[in-house]
Amino acid sequence: MVWVKFAICLAVILVAGTKLSKYGDAIAEKTGMGRIWVGVVLLAAITSLPELATGISSVAFVGKPDLTLGDLFGSNLINLVVIAIIDVLYTRGPVLHYLGTGMVLAAISSTLLIALAATSIYVAQNVASLSIFGYIGLYSPLLLCLYLLVQYMLFRFQRGQQGQPSNSGPVPANYDSISIRKVSTFFGIAALATIGAGIWLGFIGNELSEVTGLKTSFVGTIFLALCTSAPEIVVSISALRLGALEMAVGNVIGSNLFNMGVIIFVDDLFYTTGPILSYTSMDHIGTALFAILMSCVVIIGLIYRPRFWPRIWIGIDAAALIILYFCAVFVIYSMGRF
């Protein structure tokens, strides 16, 4: 029955996440936001709601911080693989070649936050578990502040780019006939459904850990990450079909930023036992290192644009992302058996 519940929960998140993204995109279009801002900030926050809800339920109700940390770092890996999927589906060439400086800024910032989160786990468990009020880790507000700083820099960059032509083409206006009030109502309903499914997912993850006999860090990294990353996958592919490359790639990079900067902070607030990174498995550091390697591949693909880039049906950078992901899954599975 646990697998049936897992499948039902996945279906709910897929449907609700798709609707949430659609109406979030409509709100963004009606307010005149740019593609980078919509992808990295708005859509990323929207599609990260399952991770947020799962994290709160995992630490507050289930009491398993490894579930939420595994979910977050595993989602980072899957989000980066989504870029490879986009590259395969995009037939005009390597998709990263069509993106500009703003995406480079977002990708570097995402890598920095992942590295800082991994370093914080090591420091909290091997050097000093620094805390505020006895249970909030000192690293959590630091991650949140860096996230807000990145959003401010992206906002200033986007304002400076207004009026300039985009490399990825215009997005058709599909929401002219829908009022902002109607959009907001449907957006709220989809958000509630996504949050409810995410809370349920935390309990299902704990059951999966008990049924399979695997460590909660592995269950969170593989099963929960795949389920809660479903909205990111759907939204990015939908944005690609619209021709909005910056929104498609920005959604997954922005989700990684949100995972590290906001969700870890919120989870730490709800985990009253102590600083959350002091009570999690060191296995997450290995997952984070693979996420950093994959992020570096993305950054290289954004910056380095040779005249001749070998491609049959997949680019070199996309192939490297897929190979690194399967290497990460193998390593995580090897660690998760013990």
For residue 90, pLDDT over 70 is answered with yes
For residue 212, pLDDT over 60 is answered with yes
pLDDT tens-place string over residues 252-283: 999 999 999 999 999 999 988 888 888 888 88
Average of per-residue pLDDT across 240-261: 87
Residue-level pLDDT at 169 = 47
Indicate left, alpha or beta for 274 from its phi (over 0: left) and psi (-120 to 50: alpha): left
Banded model confidence at residue 325, pLDDT cuts 50, 70, 90? very high
> Six-digit token pair at 225?
């990450």
| Domains (range + CATH), the chain | 2-162+178-336 (1.20.1420.30)
Q: Which amino acid is at 193?
A: A
Residue-level pLDDT at 121 = 93
As a whole number of angstroms, the distance between CA 151 and CA 331 comes to: 33
For residue 321, pLDDT over 60 is answered with yes
pLDDT tens-place string over residues 111-159: 999 999 999 999 988 887 777 777 788 899 999 999 999 998 888 877 7
φ and ψ at residue 315, rounded to 5 degrees:
-75, 165
Tell me what percent of the residues of the chain surpass a pLDDT of 90. 25
pLDDT tens-place string over residues 281-307: 888 999 999 999 999 999 998 988 665
Q: Whole-number mean pLDDT of the chain?
A: 81
Helices and strands of the chain, counted as H and E runs: 15, 2
Higher pLDDT, 112 or 213: 112
| Lowest-confidence segment of 43-47, 65-69, 223-227 by average pLDDT | 223-227
As a whole number of angstroms, the distance between CA 163 and CA 216 comes to: 49
Higher pLDDT, 325 or 203: 325
For residue 36, pLDDT over 80 is answered with no
> Six-digit token pair at 10?
């996945």
| Lowest-confidence segment of 18-32, 52-66, 88-102 by average pLDDT | 18-32
For residue 170, pLDDT over 50 is answered with no
Residue-level pLDDT at 137 = 83
Q: Residues 274-305, buried b or exposed e (16+ Cβ, 10 A)? A: bbbbbbbbebbbbbbbbbbbbbebbbebbeee
pLDDT tens-place string over residues 8-27: 887 887 788 777 767 777 77
Tell me what percent of the residues of the chain surpass a pLDDT of 70. 83
pTM (2 d.p.): 0.84
Higher pLDDT, 7 or 117: 117
CA 230 to chain CA centroid, Å, is 10
Q: Which residues contact 312 (CB under 8 A, 6 or more apart)?
A: none
Contact, 30 vs 183, CB < 8 A? yes
Q: Where does the chain show beta strands of DSSP type E? A: 131-132, 136-137
Number of Cβ atoms within 10 Å of the Cβ of 163: 5
**199 closest CA partner among 54, 333, 338, 302:** 54
Banded model confidence at residue 199, pLDDT cuts 50, 70, 90? confident
pLDDT tens-place string over residues 72-84: 998 899 999 999 9
- 136 strand-pairing partners: 132
As a whole number of angstroms, the distance between CA 226 and CA 125 comes to: 28
Higher pLDDT, 242 or 41: 41
